[in-house]
Structure 1
Amino acid sequence: MIRFELEDVVGRENVSTTEAERATYSVDYFWISRMWEDHGAEGPMADVIVRPGSSEEVSRILKIANYYKLPVHTWGGGSGSQGGALPMAGGILLDMKRMNHLISIDENAHSITAEAGMIFQQLEWYANERGYSCMHIPSCLTCGTIGGALGHRGVGILSSRYGKIDDMCMSMEVVLPNGDIMNTLPVPKHAAGPDLNQIFIGSEGTLGVITKATFRLFEQPECRRHRGFMFPDLTAGLEAGRDIMQKCQPSIMRLFDEAETVSIIKKIIGVEERGSFMNLTLEGIAKIVDIEMEMVIDICVRHGGRDMGSEYGEKWYENRITFFYPDHIMDIPQMFGTMDTVADFSHVEKIYWAMKNAIESNFPGVRFIAHCSHWYGWGTMIYDRFIMDDSPEDREEALRLHNQIWNTGVRAAMENGGVINDHHGIGLKLARLMKEQYGPAFQVMEGLKKALDPNGIMNPYKLGL
């Protein structure tokens, strides 16, 4: 009966209950889901896959789900690394990729509007055709959707200049759990109460379904110049990065610890030296970029950095996406995880050493590598990763060990002033630690959930809700 009701909304061809299709949506880029599949185990499956083609269809589906109290999970490109889209409670899985249409480009307002099921690369191509860019260039550019970027508060490599996805989004259309279709205010900077964008950005499908969004457009820069530096250690590089963010506005600044410099950086762009490598990009009007580059070089040299010229910076930029392809970094059957912790400049190095020592001392055979890839005027994030080459063959033992490493590393970060996630989201992987991170403040998030989704149908067990 429920299937027939869903078919009445979206058409028979857009509803599936076959085991093959349901299994397709049981694995995203979350390590545990991939390991589970690699071991031949069955992952969490939805009962029915539904592909809506409009906001009105999403509304009708949510009304059906609320009537029958069925869980609803929203699926974009399946590129998330935290298990945020996995259908842990069965029910309905909404594959949003039919909703992939460009709605408008307003060159006067410098904005672009599209449906949330569009792959972000396609949105960028539409902007490029008019001589603009969205300036959101994440590693999942070619496989992540607009809704996924917003749902997990994503970030791209140009964030230190242009901001994260929440800085780029002007307004959104959201279908609430009860089926109401709402729009946030047309501009984000106002004093008409809280910015509702910020309630739904980062909510990971727990408060509603994002169906459309409007983003800022940026003119393509007159020039984009790259540079590489080698610092004697992470400390010197962090000090230089802090000073650069106070005086200039690089679009890219990535500082790698020695462990990552001598492994991944050496492998991909050919750096042979030991130390902490930094690649940096400045862009904009050529005359201003020239002045900023002189300032950057002066700052880096003053902190003990060696100017390596433009070659290695250009090589890094050429490989900005392929860094994350198989055979370039860790991959199954290795055990690995990316914790991405964010902190202010007073705590970031303390957090790095606390996490590194906690993980490597408690788990023999596990390596800890890190880099700082997104910078703010007040601090930076640590893209901290653990890697274990010889993962346990028993899947239960592997799952237990994976969670133990995560608990140890993330708690070390929180105990030393870190926030547990910068841009990958919380999903299933970190949900259990959200109450520890927030303390009494978590009741605000629980209150929002209870008010908007009283039946608890939206993406259960994610975000700690």
Structure 2
Amino acid sequence: MNIAKTSYMFDMLLFELRDIVGKEYVSVRDSDKEVYSVDYFWLPEMCHDRQDRSNITRPMADFIVHPANAEDVSKILKIANNYKIPVTAWGGGSGSQGGALPVFGGIILDTKRMDTIYKIDEQSMTVEVGTGIIHQTLEWELEQKGFSTMHDPGSARCATVGGFIAHRGTGVLSTKYGKIEDMIVNMEIVLPTGEIIRTLPVPKTACGPDLNQIFIGAEGTMGIVTKVTLTIHRLPETRAFRAFVFKDLETGLRVGQRLVSENLQPSVIRLYSENETKEVIKKVLGIEKTGAYMVYGFDGKKDMVDLQMKYAQEIADSEGGEDLGAHPGEQWWNNRYKFFFPPYMYRLPQCFGTLDTVASYSDIQNVYNAMKDVVEKQYPMARFIGHFSHWFPWGAMLYGRFIIDTPPEDPHEAIYLHNSIWNDALRAAMAAGGVLNEHHGIGLKLSRLTPELYGEAFQLLKNVKTTLDPNGIMNPGKLGFGIG
């Protein structure tokens, strides 16, 4: 639904929105609409880069609104319901799935004015914060007092806390400290119809279902999270890292599983497949090795870390690992963000995608093999690489990627090829025991596949969506939900 600037209703809606947040906090400038039509999803980036040769029109919002608090959001949603106007929440714009793209026009609700740090509770070890805050800003404030959320993703400098919640984000230290969903104590949420609710003061109760879970990972389709209380941790006394090379991926996966199952509590395990060791580790760190490259790390009290490192080395040695020592591990930690920036990250004119998935330890090798086989055998113009970033008591996450250095010149053909690889690779992953995604979310990119993942249970999700959002205004076209 796009509203023509020449229509009477455009000015009426513009007035109502400005009446809520102030004239300076509602934009209808074409330049702003351009900015909010591109996130880190390959498709809009490609169309933006090639618009002189493409007849593909990028979706743009009619109004960009910057609310200050939950009350503003509530009033905006009531207007949107009254006129049946789509609303799409926007945080830092760093998402890779098109989750924040206004594919049906309407209102972009930019959350970044909701960036207040309300309370750092040193006794309860929590922080209450507005979800529009850029995560790095929150970390700087916490670190001045000796604390951290220990949520350390590659997007920390540009993503908002709300964005992490919307897509179930994962940071580098997740193996010890968990994903963003594990850090949430309670939340303030504006429901699609405008009611403001607060979930229970603590998440571990026998008082029925945890309402937090309805909204975590829902990508703004069920409501807007405006405030959250997160757990925090004291900064560790020390951090230590070590790097090994194993003869093959299977051995590295076994080592990673043992580091977790033998209760050593590593903060980091990063295992690179043979082909990513050859391509990425060499390119970013300058380390040229054959096999599967692994970095692991521990943090905390020095004596405890020393003991953990001792036992971890015994595990790696017992599996025939080549010990590269502490320096390459520390080098990886100090350069961990370089992997996500030019010239190391894949970028246009290449066609690429991050096929992240997660599976049990008994399935994860088969998932990797299945995805690799599909990409390499069915799409000879592409190559497949992967590493394993996040480890759980029951399984591990695969950060797979496909890369095409020279995609089709015609943008429609390029999009079809891009989507075909996603479909075939992720269907292969699901057949082998994996899922569609681990921490980037579903968004527009994978929306079509969500009903396949959930099967008959998807109807339950649709029923929840319809109950909370009867007019279908919240981020339509995402997470498998249509419009209206």
| Aligned counterparts, 1:393-404, within 5 A | 393-404=409-420
Q: Which runs of 5+ in 1 are unaligned?
A: none
Of 242, 253, 268, which aligns to 1:238?
253
Q: CA deviation at 1:444?
A: 1.6
Give secondary structure in 1 for the equivalent of 2:261.
helix
- Which position in structure 1 is the counterpart of 2:148? 133
Letter in 2 for 1:73: T
1:254 maps onto 2:254 in alignment? no
- Which position in structure 1 is the counterpart of 2:405? 389
- Which position in structure 2 is the counterpart of 1:371? 387
TM-score relative to the length of structure 1: 0.99
Q: Distance in 2 between matches of 1:302 and 1:444?
A: 48
Of 441, 450, 456, which aligns to 2:457?
441
Contact between 2:284 and 2:338, CA under 8 Å: does it hold in 1? Answer: no
- Which position in structure 1 is the counterpart of 2:158? 143
- Which position in structure 1 is the counterpart of 2:25? 14
Give secondary structure in 2 for the equivalent of 1:347.
helix
1:3 maps onto 2:3 in alignment? no
- Which position in structure 2 is the counterpart of 1:175? 190
Q: Distance in 1 between matches of 2:324 and 2:261?
A: 23
Give secondary structure in 1 for the equivalent of 2:478.
coil
Contact between 1:264 and 1:329, CA under 8 Å: does it hold in 2? Answer: no
Q: CA deviation at 1:94?
A: 0.5
Give secondary structure in 1 for the equivalent of 2:472.
coil
| Aligned counterparts, 1:17-96, within 5 A | 17-40=28-51, 41-96=56-111
- Which position in structure 2 is the counterpart of 1:432? 448
Of 204, 222, 229, which aligns to 2:237?
222
Q: Distance in 2 between matches of 1:323 and 1:350?
A: 26
Q: Distance in 2 between matches of 1:213 and 1:121?
A: 16
Q: CA deviation at 1:287?
A: 1.4
Q: Distance in 2 between matches of 1:15 and 1:290?
A: 55
Give secondary structure in 1 for the equivalent of 2:225.
strand
Cα deviations across residues 90-141 of structure 1 (Å, max 9, x unaligned)?
A: 0111011111111111111111011111000111111111101110000000
Name segments (4+ residues, structure 1) moved above 3 Å: none
Q: Distance in 1 between matches of 2:141 and 2:469?
A: 35
- Which position in structure 2 is the counterpart of 1:97? 112
Give secondary structure in 2 for the equivalent of 1:225.
strand
Give secondary structure in 2 for the equivalent of 1:365.
coil
Of 255, 263, 267, which aligns to 2:283?
267
Contact between 1:75 and 1:93, CA under 8 Å: does it hold in 2? Answer: yes
Q: Distance in 2 between matches of 1:288 and 1:277?
A: 25
- Which position in structure 2 is the counterpart of 1:315? 331
- Which position in structure 2 is the counterpart of 1:411? 427
Give secondary structure in 2 for the equivalent of 1:283.
strand
Letter in 2 for 1:310: A
Q: CA deviation at 1:329?
A: 2.1
Q: Distance in 1 between matches of 2:388 and 2:193?
A: 41
Q: CA deviation at 1:222?
A: 1.3
Cα deviations across residues 21-72 of structure 1 (Å, max 9, x unaligned)?
A: 1111000000011001111153110111111111111000000000101000
Give secondary structure in 1 for the equivalent of 2:332.
helix
- Which position in structure 1 is the counterpart of 2:4? none
Contact between 2:135 and 2:159, CA under 8 Å: does it hold in 1? Answer: yes
Q: CA deviation at 1:323?
A: 1.3
